């Protein structure tokens, strides 16, 4: 059971972090040579799919992480390198809390992208729109794209840092 | 913060190892289930260009990850005093008579399978997809060329899916090492 939970947890982290690195490194690179109209179509399609993969992975990470935490055995934990303890007075406990905070930040960011930033990029045009209204709409979409770009970079940095924080737990914690 | 440099090296090796696995597995999932279907939403000619660009870039990521997984994996075993450069190279519990050793051995064999599949995709099937049709080529040659490309694309898809399944198995084996191995 412990092995299965740990494997599920690792696979979910891998799908999430590897996916976000691939979207940034591979998709952005390929977009440079594509006509702008097609960039929009591909972004919408890939973005929508990726958001659901990311949300599902984060939920699996949260569920398996919580179960693993509940199954942690104090005496067994003490036999690991550095004799860690799951309290805030010990580096292991503080690192675990930092990792949980990172997970919450990622969940909030991906949820914001899925339910707010992605829908905000949709163009709303009506035949009776004035030139000012069209310009304002363009500005709004521009702002939404900027927010999305910032969210994607924030997500990438935090997710890559989380892998490092998690890796430090094997040696007793980081902070 | 750990003040022993040896612990920092251990954390760094573990970090690079985990990140490389994430890039390999997560990248393959994103290529297969996110970027692949997204390609179908644009005209075929543009989709082919996009497919070529994304695959070229991803192959660099995949090869880099595979090499880093092997190097950091070996260095981590060496730091745990299970692997050394003198005969018999493997120290207990890395012998095949122990579950830990058999699990690590299986992981290494599966890594070799991933490397062979990667080599097949990079050096055998990808060049077939990228080939251009020269002016003056006969209709029969064009048909044969197209059949070759379709076969190469099918093989790439099969190998990518096999790689995904293998990587999930490797993750399961890797997770079991904390409790002494699975096999």
What is the least distance, in Å, from the CA of B27 to any CA of chain A? 5
| pLDDT > 90: percent of chain A | 17
Q: Which of these ranges, A46-60, B39-53, B155-169, has the smallest mean pLDDT? A: B39-53
When CB atoms are compared, the residue of B2, B23, B34 closest to A50 is B34
Instruction: Judge: A167–B46 Cβ closer than 8 Å, yes or no.
Output: no
When CB atoms are compared, the residue of B11, B38, B171 closest to A171 is B11
A116 pLDDT above the threshold of 90: no
When CB atoms are compared, the residue of A25, A160, A167 closest to B61 is A25
Instruction: Judge: B171–A15 Cβ closer than 8 Å, yes or no.
Output: no
pLDDT of residue B132: 67
What is the SS3 string spanning chain B?
CCCCHHHHHHHHHHHHHHHHHHHHHHHHHHHHHHHHHHHCCCCHHHHHHHHHHHHHHHHHHHHHHHHHHHHHHHHHHHHCCCECCCCCCECCCCCCCCHHHHHHHHHHHHHHHHHHHHHHHHHHHHHHHHCCCCCCCCHHHHHHHHHHHHHHHHHHHHHHHHHHHHHHHHHHHHHHHHHCCCC
pLDDT of residue B172: 87
ipTM: 0.82
What is the least distance, in Å, from the CA of B10 to any CA of chain A? 8
Interface contacts (A, B; CB < 8 Å) = 160
pLDDT tier, A115 (very low <50, low <70, confident <90, very high otherwise): confident
A12: nearest CA partner in chain B: B26
């Amino acid at each position: 059971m412990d092995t299965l939970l740990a494997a599920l947890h690792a696979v979910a982290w891998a799908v999430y972090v590897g996916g976000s690195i691939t979207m940034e490194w591979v998709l952005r690179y390929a977009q440079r040579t594509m006509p702008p109209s097609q960039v929009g179509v591909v972004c919408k399609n890939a973005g929508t799919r990726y958001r659901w993969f990311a949300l599902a992975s984060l939920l699996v990470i949260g569920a398996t992480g919580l179960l693993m935490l509940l199954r942690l055995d104090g005496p067994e934990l003490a036999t690991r390198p550095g004799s860690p303890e799951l309290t805030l007075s010990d580096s292991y406990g503080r690192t675990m809390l930092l990792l949980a905070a990172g997970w919450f930040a990622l969940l909030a960011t991906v949820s914001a992208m899925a339910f707010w930033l992605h829908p905000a990029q949709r163009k709303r045009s009506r035949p009776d729109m004035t030139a000012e209204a069209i310009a304002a709409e363009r500005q709004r979409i521009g702002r939404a794209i900027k927010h999305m770009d910032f969210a994607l970079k924030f997500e990438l940095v935090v997710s890559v840092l989380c892998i490092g924080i998690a890796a430090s737990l094997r040696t007793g914690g980081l902070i | 913060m750990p003040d022993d440099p040896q612990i920092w090296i251990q954390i760094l090796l573990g970090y690079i190892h985990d990140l490389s696995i994430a890039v390999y597995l997560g990248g393959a999932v994103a290529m297969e289930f996110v970027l692949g279907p997204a390609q179908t939403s644009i005209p075929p000619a543009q989709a082919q260009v996009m497919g070529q660009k994304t695959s070229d870039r991803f192959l660099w990521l995949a090869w880099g990850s595979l090499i880093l997984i092997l190097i950091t994996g070996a260095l981590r075993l060496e730091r745990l005093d299970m692997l050394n450069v003198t005969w018999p190279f493997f120290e207990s519990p890395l012998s095949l008579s122990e579950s830990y050793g058999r699990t690590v051995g299986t992981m290494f064999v599966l890594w070799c399978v991933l490397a062979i599949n990667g080599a097949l995709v990079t050096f055998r099937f990808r060049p077939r997809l990228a080939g251009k049709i020269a002016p003056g080529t006969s209709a029969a040659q064009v048909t044969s060329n197209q059949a070759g490309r379709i076969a190469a694309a099918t093989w790439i898809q099969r190998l990518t899916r096999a790689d995904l399944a293998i990587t999930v198995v490797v993750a399961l084996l890797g997770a079991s090492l904390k409790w002494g191995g699975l096999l």
